[in-house]
Amino acid sequence: MATKPIMGKDIYLALAAVGWADGQLTTPAADAIVRTALDEGLEFEEVAEIEAATKSPINVGQIDHMEMTKADRLYVYAVASWIAELDGKATDAERVALARLGNELRIPDAPRQRADEIMQEIAAHADRPERFDLLSLRRTLDARLEEARQARLQGMLDEAGDESS
């Protein structure tokens, strides 16, 4: 019994659009997008459409994120950020495409910055940029979100304790 992928085809098309924003999508970036879609378990026809999008420029379109968690949305943004930086440095056009993607995913600026920092941290440990550890990125994002949630809960408990004293 197959499970429904968390990230639909539109996410991978958006990743390709970010990669194409500067006019070229590198082979390692294209391979990473297709590899991630395959790892996610998308249907063959969807992966074929994604692969086609890695061969010619497209724009960031509508993204169905209704069934995505905050961690899913941050992960997609961080992968897009990595793709934009894969060839050395994100161009202005890539930054605009990333901003559009972040807006489409409804991610505020502060979490985008943290996702970028985590992406840079994981990228620093990669032996080759094209072999970026996407699983480590996901685990790190999930762990940091949980740490932030726990800190917020502790702060609320501390504040409630102070008010009852």
pLDDT tens for 12-42 read 888 888 888 888 888 888 888 888 888 888 8
The closest alpha carbon to 59, from 119, 116, 10, belongs to 10
pLDDT value, residue 3:
46
pLDDT above 60 (res 155): yes
Q: Which residues lie closer than 8 Å to 87 by C-beta, 6 or more apart? A: 24, 26, 29
Tens digit of pLDDT for each residue in 87-141? 677 788 888 888 988 988 899 999 999 998 888 888 777 665 555 677 778 888 8
Question: What confidence score (pLDDT) does residue 132 get?
Answer: 66
In this predicted structure, what is the pLDDT of residue 2? 41
> Would the pTM of this model clear 0.75, i.e. be above it?
no
Query: Residue 6 has which token pair?
Result: 């968390």
Q: How far is CA 35 from CA 68, 96, 137, 158, in A?
A: 20, 25, 15, 45
Position 122 scores a pLDDT of 83
User: What is the 3 state secondary structure string of the chain?
Assistant: CCCCCCCCHHHHHHHHHHHHCCCCCCHHHHHHHHHHHHHHCCCHHHHHHHHHHCCCCCCCCCCCCCCCCHHHHHHHHHHHHHHHHCCCCCCHHHHHHHHHHHHHCCCCHHHHHHHHHHHHHHHCCCCCHHHCCHHHHHHHHHHHHHHHHHHHHHHHHHHHHHHHC
**pLDDT number for residue 87:** 67
pLDDT at residue 61, rounded to an integer: 64
- Using CA atoms, how far apart are residues 138 and 72, in angstroms rounded to an integer? 8
